[in-house]
Structure 1
Amino acid sequence: MDEFSSIYIVEKTQDFLIVIFALIGLPGNAAVIWLLGIQRHKKPISVYILHLATSDFLFLCCLLTFYLWKLIDRFPYEYYIYIHALGMFFYVTSLLMLSAISTERCLAVLFPIWYRCHQPRHMSAVLCSLFWALSLLLTILLHISHCFLFQFVQLYMGMRLFIASLVVILFVVLCGSNLVLLVRMLCGSTRLPLTRLYVTIGLTVLVFLLCSLPLCIISAWDDVIHYKIGYFNFMVLENTGYLLSSVNSSANPIIYFFVGSFRQKQHQGHQRWSLKVVLQKALEDGGEAGESGERLPQESVEMS
């Protein structure tokens, strides 16, 4: 078997796995969107999670559309650039939402009085709208500069530099904010309780850094990587990035429901919780009192 045949088999296997993970992740994200969307009074963290699930859902729709048509060899490749631009729009939005979640919790820990008393009421909804608008603007500018590369070469190079800088900044924000939370939990005289919310955020960020960040790096420096390793190897590498990103977008709802249902039998006997209650538990900012199942005072205040 020659090298071309091996690359072809690997690429088709990756396409199949991406379709499988997209089919797994779509129902989970749809459930999160439905359960959070029907809530009348949403906490800021619920607003961010709702928009994150929406962007993940739409990103998986783009992956499913492209790779399913690619598997049956009927995808019109003249539309590839549009599907790619749309998918990257939702991908960047997810990255911005996740960074906002980590930053919001970091501010709540470092400046608790300001967060509880002086935070604008609809700040989370306004920020989510700005993130959608910013992602759309970046996608449109990059798409136009790429389609008309020779006419807008300076715009294209400027957009690539800006996006690469944005990736670095968001990576620093994600790592820095979660490092602050980890230090506050492990060190100091007043340690933070290990609540379900912090576990949810920590696992979500960890899965993103392991699974979704490679696609961000590949997309930001694709010209350099393409030149170094060649066309066919780059296609396999890019497919690997999309495969890992599909795992990330599919894993987020699993994380929410796993953290929300963790130790439920110990606290509630054999009573089963609905998906809505499980999701609310995963986003609770309250400590657990251990084996007795009693809530700590902080959680009692939050739940009241």
Structure 2
Amino acid sequence: MGSSSSAVPEVPWFQSTLKEIIESLTNLVLKFMESFCLLSSVCGMVGNGLVLWYLGFRIRRNHFTVYILNLAAADFGYLLCIAVETVQYLMQFNVGVQFGIFLFLDLFMYGTGLYLLTAISVERCLSVLSPIWCRTHRPKRLSAVVSGLLWALSLLLNTLGYVLCTVRPSPRVCQRLLISIGALDFLVCAPLMLFFSLTLFLRVKCSSQPFQTGRLFTVIMLTILLFLIFAVPLSVLILLDFLGHKFLYSPEIGFVLSCVNSTLNPVIYFLVGSYRDRKFRLTLRLAFQRAFQDSADDRDERETTGELRGTGEGSSHLALSYPLCRYFRTLF
């Protein structure tokens, strides 16, 4: 009797110790993720700030760089909100702003970036499939108008979410609205982006005539690829969360990955623009200028510098030997 009664307190002691260990590990992982996100946000704000400066004041813009300029603004705003939230969490410092406002701003900037990249992929694909029609019928300020409308759409959706979920909470309506926004992001915009990007890639690589795509094509393809890898999971995790499927660290992982995506975009612009003759060189301004050149501008520059020689008829005929390319040519 004495031995059995003395063994009883060991069970709650073990359970409480295990619970403390799990809580400590959870807090440690969260602090590591938040610290990494803060460092990434600071670096990303510097990079996107430089893109805003050069595209806004130092480099001649075309209709695609208008989208890139707006994308850099959305990335900068997203990273700024993440940085402020992270500092508030790590230092236990209340800046006097509700968490709901930060979440509203995060999702507003994130949604704007998603819609802008969808518009970029659609317009770039159409400009390659029907270049003459786009050149003659495209309104001059279409990029600015579309960008403004996409900012307004994202603001409207997220303002409704903030009002219905925070200011005047209506749980049922809030859940339906957030599920609808998540479905729009993941089930509409992401597939559209993937479809038009894949169509553009196959049209360029499977053409019987060599395309002079320029560095802008590479920038767009890499930017969309990284967005699909790093940023789209946030939409998936948020949608699953509101559908009742919760995973360990799921919101935090989504925000960290999306933060990495916004940080990497300026790095892509610089690396693509500065890569020349298998070396990375040129100043920051020239690298950005070359990265955002369209195919015609890029071809003119390569012809003047003697880089354009023996363009890819062989590669085009090689591409046509693949069954996927032969099938794709029957569609277009």
Alignment CA distance shift 1:99-1:19 (3 Å): same
* Number of aligned positions between the proteins: 287
Matched, 1:262 2:280: no
Matched, 1:112 2:121: no
Aligned to 2:284: 275
Aligned to 1:301: none
Alignment CA distance shift 1:228-1:192 (3 Å): same
* Displacement of 1:172: 1.3
Q: Distance in 1 between matches of 2:107 and 2:308?
A: 42
How does the TM-score come out when normalised to structure 1? 0.86
Matched, 1:250 2:263: yes
Alignment CA distance shift 1:228-1:92 (3 Å): closer
Maintained 8 Å contact 1:145/1:153: no
Which whole-Å deviations, capped at 9, do the CAs of 1:47-85 have from their partners, x for residues lacking one? Answer: 000000000001000000001111111236871111111
Which whole-Å deviations, capped at 9, do the CAs of 1:145-200 have from their partners, x for residues lacking one? Answer: 21267647336414522441343111111111111111112213124335211111
Matched, 1:204 2:220: no
Aligned to 1:127: 146
Map 1:68-79 to 2 at 5 A.
Answer: 68-75=87-94, 79=98
Deviates more, 1:194-203 or 1:45-54: 194-203
Alignment CA distance shift 1:228-1:243 (3 Å): closer
Maintained 8 Å contact 1:164/1:221: no
Alignment CA distance shift 1:196-1:296 (3 Å): farther
Maintained 8 Å contact 2:163/2:169: no
Q: Distance in 2 between matches of 1:61 and 1:135?
A: 18
Q: Distance in 2 between matches of 1:150 and 1:163?
A: 19
RMSD: 2.6
Equivalent position to 2:107, from 88, 92, 102: 88
Q: Distance in 1 between matches of 2:168 and 2:237?
A: 20
Maintained 8 Å contact 1:185/1:192: yes
- Bigger radius of gyration: 2
Alignment CA distance shift 1:244-1:40 (3 Å): closer
Instruction: Structure 2: give runs of 5+ residues left out of the alignment.
Output: 1-17, 312-332
Aligned to 1:28: 47
Alignment CA distance shift 1:37-1:19 (3 Å): same
- After TM superposition, which residue ranges in structure 1, 4 or more long, deviate above 3 angstroms? 75-78, 148-152, 287-290, 295-298
* Displacement of 1:41: 4.9
Maintained 8 Å contact 2:182/2:236: no
How does the TM-score come out when normalised to structure 2? 0.79
Maintained 8 Å contact 1:98/1:205: yes
Return the letter of the residue paired with 1:245.
Answer: S
Aligned to 1:241: 254
* Displacement of 1:126: 0.4
